Amino acid sequence: MVSSQPKYELIQEVGRGSYGVVYEAVVKRTGARVAVKKIRCHSPENVELALREFWALSSIQSQHPNVIHLEECILQRDQLAQRMSHGSSSPLYLEVRINILLSDCMWIIFISFFGLDKEWVFGLIYCTFICIE
């Protein structure tokens, strides 16, 4: 189990997209400035899109320096959180597929260094945080 305390402090909203909201945030432990993307999924189709992003990024993260590095994925229910491992045969993956429809949360965290074209986001460190409810 991992801590149920939030690792990030949201500062302000910086953008909205089709699937979620991006916030400027700070990592509480280190003070690093990051971007946090939060996606609410109220349908199986949206859950599937978020899981595809998780699996795709974890599969290709070492192939290019501008590809987001997958840091961790956490399934959260009530006040308990548990780390997920990669792979569709993982019991936690199956648990997410079943329980996500029962309003559980899954947090997916990615951290990467981008090139200068992305530097305007929040410096060179960029983090994506996905919440599926």
pLDDT tens figures, 44-91: 666 666 667 666 666 666 666 666 555 555 544 455 444 555 444 443
Is residue 29's pLDDT more than 80?
yes
Alpha-carbon distances, residue 51 vs 39, 74, 92, 114, 122 (angstroms): 12, 12, 12, 22, 25
Count Cβ neighbours within 10 Å for each residue of 73-87 and write b for 16 or more, e otherwise: bbbbeeeebeebeee
Please count the other Cβ atoms lying within 10 Å of the Cβ belonging to residue 64. Answer: 7
Give the residue, 73 or 125, on which the prediction is more confident: 73
What mean pLDDT, rounded, does the chain reach?
56
Residue numbers belonging to the annotated binding site:
38
Among the ranges 14-18, 24-28, 79-83, 95-99, which has the highest mean pLDDT value?
24-28
Count Cβ neighbours within 10 Å for each residue of 106-124 and write b for 16 or more, e otherwise: bbbbbbbebeeeeeebbee
Q: Using N-to-C axis directions, what is the helix angle for 91-99 and 44-60, rounded to 10°?
A: 150
Name the class of domain 8-132: alpha beta
Q: What are the tokens at 54?
A: 């998780």
- Asked whether the beta carbons of 109 and 61 are under 8 A apart, the reply is no
pLDDT category at 116 given cuts 50, 70, 90 is very low
Give pLDDT, residue 27: 79
Residue numbers belonging to the annotated binding site for ATP:
38
Instruction: Identify the helix (H) or strand (E) that includes residue 52.
Output: helix 44-60
